Structure 1
Amino acid sequence: MPLHLPPAVDLREVGLRDGLQLEAPLPTATKLEILDAVVATGVRRVEVTSFVSPTAVPALADAEQVVAELGRWPGVAFSALVAGFGGARRAVAAGLPHLEYVVSASDGHSRANARRTSDEAVAATRDIAALAHDAGGRCEAIIAVAWDCPFDGPTPVARTVDVARRAVDLGADQLCLGDTIGSTVPGRVVELVDAVRDACPGVDVGVHLHNSRGAGLACVLAAVQVGVTSIDAAVGGLGGCPFAPGASGNIATEEVVHMLEGSGVRTGLDLDRVLAAAAVVERAVGHGLPSNLHRAGGAARPITPAG
């Protein structure tokens, strides 16, 4: 049976934010070296940092300093994640009006992540979207624990759909469904994507998947087969949520590029340069990366005969 795949997808690199937020803080200069290597891959969208409490996420305490240097890379669409109005105001003041506002579909994760209920977090979409729009930017609602919550268990499809619908009604320009703890599987991905699309016609719905339980790439393929073209990934497969027990690495950018380009889907990224960026990240963080492709040495590493 032939695969039904789009001709191209739009990958967003999230390694500078999600990839680094659980790591020991890196010097800003080192982050800019990583960013330079990431931009060299050809990626068009980069989630470059988050404006959250530096006490809660010390690895990203230099958000303003990073954003101040983004003029070095014209033509790249940079965005920042925020968890509330205060962070959104900081991002806009720093000169980055393109916001990703994270809201949790469950109360348990919302209280751990933002110290308020899910409904309270969704209600703030109106003010955050207005702030972004007034500054000439966009507001994307990232729905965390869209499939499962480490505190409350499986998230009902109807609950995630309701959060998505209300976020759009309050001004969100697009949506991204987050598998925060990497627990979903392809069938559930298709089910939720279809349900959210039905509830929010005409709104772009992307996916942010983790590979905690090994199904990340399969879930990407399932999403792409039903027409999802906005996909988050982190070079080297780094990442995880500090407020979600059991959350580990993102899907690796190089593995997504390898899979999709090999299947005839254009990503616009150069695989060799993505692997080079992964090597830069590995040196910076000082430990091995989760990416299988990075460890294998690339798509076509020659096998040396024994003996």
Structure 2
Amino acid sequence: MSTLTNLELPAKVVICEVAPRDGFQAENEWIPTEDKIKIIKKLAGTGIQSMEITSFVHPKAIPQLRDAEEVVRQSQDLAGIAFRALVPNVKGAQRAIDVGIKKLKLMLSATDSHSISNANCLTEEAMNGFNPIFELAAKHGVKVGGSISVAFGCPYEGKVPLERLAHIVERYINLGIEEISLADSTGMANPRQVYETLGALKANFPTMTFSMHLHNTRGMALANAFAALEHGITHFDSSIAGLGGCPYAPGATGNIASEDLVHAFSEMGIETGINLEELIKTAKYVKQVIGHDGGSYMLQAGPCSQLHAKPKIQEKLG
């Protein structure tokens, strides 16, 4: 890894807010559709330009997202935001396209064990089922992005071999994918691993755009984001108030909090286009609506710029 004295980091990054999908799906208590819309609109007011708004999964699989169509319909008046939706199959893709989604994100696990838990099939079988989605998307002029869940570590199989990741990336390239999200779904990654994995993948696939989807399960998400920055990665996912977690991964916890990630980048002089003050206000609102946060440092301590009154010398006794 590079030393801090010769460090060159990107001047600007793009953050995609994933709470409306990844954050909400982890909540057992039903979040009324009108509350979801209010949160989405408040997020839009912070300057966020990209959002994963929902997932078109079967309602029985994730009941919390059974209002996917209505959420999208009521959010279409929000200008300046690129919406995407996660789709597990061609039926989900059709639902998303029918309601106006212009970018689909595929769902794929790096390991067979997680794929069985998440999609009830092996990874290779899941990839073989992508062709109809691409045909449908091409017919409607809709973009498709790839993802690799548990890319840095699987709760069932441990660390994922680089060869496995490379094979999946090659399959994605053959399908025409130009952008892949690498997800640390259960927070098993470490900065050295992230740095070395990205180095190998970028060397082997120089035209691919990789993005990072980091969970803070073991407190290393920010460090892992920094390691990704060192490789010039400029696309990151995050979730307001640190909400989220994979329903099909034991011990999974929330994503890196959007307000924490924006604060960290801001302190390093990296532009996000997002108003941190408004983002923290939104995080507080989300915590109030949901009833908890997923581990947000900004909600606990506030930004570094939030200074306190200086102490005064007290009158000495005796």
| Paired position in structure 1 for 2:209 | 204
Aligned to 2:14: 10
Which residue matches 1:249? 254
Q: 1:80, 1:99 within 8 Å by CA — same for their partners in 2?
A: yes
Deviation digits for residues 207-256 of structure 1 (CA, Å, limit 9, x no counterpart) = 10100000000000110111000100111111100001111110111111
Is 1:73 aligned with 2:78? yes
Q: Which residue of 2 aligns with 1:93?
A: 98
Between the aligned partners of 2:89 and 2:212, the Cα distance in structure 1 is: 21
The percentage of counterpart residues that share the same residue type is: 38
1:9-33: CA deviations, max 9, x gaps? Answer: 0110001111111112211110010
- Whether 1:142 aligns to 2:181 is no
Following superposition, the deviation at residue 265 of structure 1 comes to 0.8
Stretches of structure 2 that go unaligned for 5 or more consecutive residues are: none
Match of 1:37 in 2: 42
SS in 2 for 1:231: strand
Structure 2: distance between partners of 1:88 and 1:71? 18
User: Does residue 123 in structure 1 map to residue 128 in structure 2?
Assistant: yes
Partner of 2:25: 21
Question: 1:264 offset after TM fit, Å?
Answer: 1.2
In 1: Cα distance, 2:241 partner to 2:225 partner: 16
How far apart are 1:125 and its partner, in Å? 2.8
Mark the CA change 1:221 to 1:166 in structure 2 (over 3 Å): closer, same or farther.
same
* Cα separation, 2, equivalents of 1:62 and 1:109: 26
Q: Structure 2: which amino acid aligns with 1:303? A: H
TM-score between both structures, scaled by the size of structure 1: 0.96
Provide, for residues 150-203 of structure 1, a one-character-per-residue CA deviation record: whole Å limited to 9, x for no partner.
112211111011111101211223111010100101111112222222333312
Instruction: Give unmatched runs, 5+ long, in structure 1.
Output: none
Q: Which residue of 2 aligns with 1:215?
A: 220
Which of 43, 56, 63 is equivalent to 1:58?
63
Q: Distance in 1 between matches of 2:135 and 2:176?
A: 7
Q: Is the 8 A contact 1:147 1:157 kept in 2?
A: no
Distance in 2 (alpha carbons) for counterparts of 1:127 and 1:165: 19
Q: C-alpha distance in 2, partners of 1:97/1:87?
A: 13
Task: Give the residue type in structure 2 aligned to 1:5.
Answer: L
1:87 is displaced (CA, Å) by: 1.2
Aligned partners of 1:126 and 1:171 also within 8 Å? no
> Contact (CA 8 Å) 2:263, 2:303: kept in 1 or not?
no
TM-score, normalised to structure 2, is 0.92
Cα RMSD (Å): 1.6
Which structure is larger by alpha-carbon Rg, 1 or 2? 2
After superposition, what is the alpha-carbon deviation per residue over 1:72-130, rounded to whole angstroms, capped at 9, x for unaligned? 20221000011222211211122113101011110001011111100011222332223
- Residue 301 of structure 1: CA displacement? 3.0
| Aligned 8 A contact 1:125 1:167 in 2 | no
- Residues 57 and 87, structure 2, Cα contact 8 Å, conserved in 1: yes
**Residue from 187, 190, 210 that aligns with 2:195:** 190
3-state SS in 1 of match to 2:108: strand
Distance (whole Å) between structure 1 residues aligned to residue 156 and residue 25 of structure 2: 21
SS in 2 for 1:81: strand
